[in-house]
Amino acid sequence: MGWDDIEVTSDLSAALREELGRTNGGKVIDLEVTEGDDGYAAVAYAAIEAKGPAGRKVEAVVCLIDFEPDSGGRTYMLKQMSEAEGPCACDCPERILDLLTSTDSDDAADWRARCRRAAAMPSANGLMN
């Protein structure tokens, strides 16, 4: 998925909840916005719940966030990645990881394990190889 832009008139977290729920076809049940690394303004981690014929499923979405230049701080650029894409950013809080349902994706399982290892290391910056 490429970069999308959203205009934020008041609260970034509220705008992200709305955008991530809309674009991922579910309800954001938890969200954490952290300081960014590697040149990004911030990184958001979301647990998104979807209900379908197979039942309830909760998956993670990682969203890289940057500012749109010359927007007066109101427009943000977003790059969303599902956990199944194996994002490099892995500072997802354990409380969000604990909400996720089981997965058949090897990449998602690997990402979850990297997040758990990062959470166990107090000085980790969240980017692990």
Query: Which residue in 61, 65, 5 sits closest to 39, CA to CA?
Result: 65
Q: What angle do CA 90, 44, 108 make, to 5 degrees?
A: 40
- What integer best gives the mean pLDDT of the chain? 85
| C-alpha–C-alpha distance, residues 92 and 54, integer Å | 26
| C-alpha–C-alpha distance, residues 71 and 56, integer Å | 39
Q: Tens digits of per-residue pLDDT, 39-71?
A: 667 899 999 999 878 889 999 999 998 876 665
Domain ranges of the chain: 3-120
Residue 65, pLDDT score: 87
Residue 76, pLDDT score: 81
SS3 76: strand
**Cα separation values, 3 from 77, 78, 81, 98, Å:** 6, 5, 10, 28
| C-alpha–C-alpha distance, residues 8 and 13, integer Å | 9
| C-alpha–C-alpha distance, residues 107 and 124, integer Å | 21
